[in-house]
Amino acid sequence: MRILVVDDDFVCRKKMEVIMLNFGLCDIARNGEEALTTFRQAYELNEPYDVIALDISMPDIDGFTVLTRIREIEDHMNIDSNDRVKVIMVTSKADKETVMASITTGCNDYIIKPVNWKVMFNKLVKLKVLKFAQ
């Protein structure tokens, strides 16, 4: 599985990277612009991401805008809805408005910080991107 972790906070980014390395190959992006560039490059190399863990609150481009642009890129590339990257919004905001905005923007799931291995494992299983022997 190919994973992109996007977070402007060094500690949060490293913690998420350590968690995600348990599930597959993991790249990091320090901001929204870097995330979009990395996302595009992955498709150009024919190595698209399976999952993006995307922080909402970032100073350059917020997670909602990044997600909107990712979905626009996928539309432009005629990527089937079943083949689109699974985006998990990751934030410290638990209010109803932020959760609803994430869903309407097109995320596949939502996690409140702090994130731990078990929560992420369950999300990845739910999204059917994590395959394991039963």
pLDDT in tens, 32-59: 999 999 999 999 999 999 999 999 999 8
Q: Are 6 and 54 in contact (CB under 8 A)?
A: yes
Closest CA to 51 of 21, 14, 73: 21
Mean pLDDT of 91-101: 87
What domains appear along the chain, each with residue ranges and CATH number?
2-126 (3.40.50.2300)
Token pair for residue 84? 């689109």
Task: Give the pLDDT of residue 134.
Answer: 44
Question: What's the pTM?
Answer: 0.93
Count of CB atoms situated within 10 Å of the CB of 71: 17
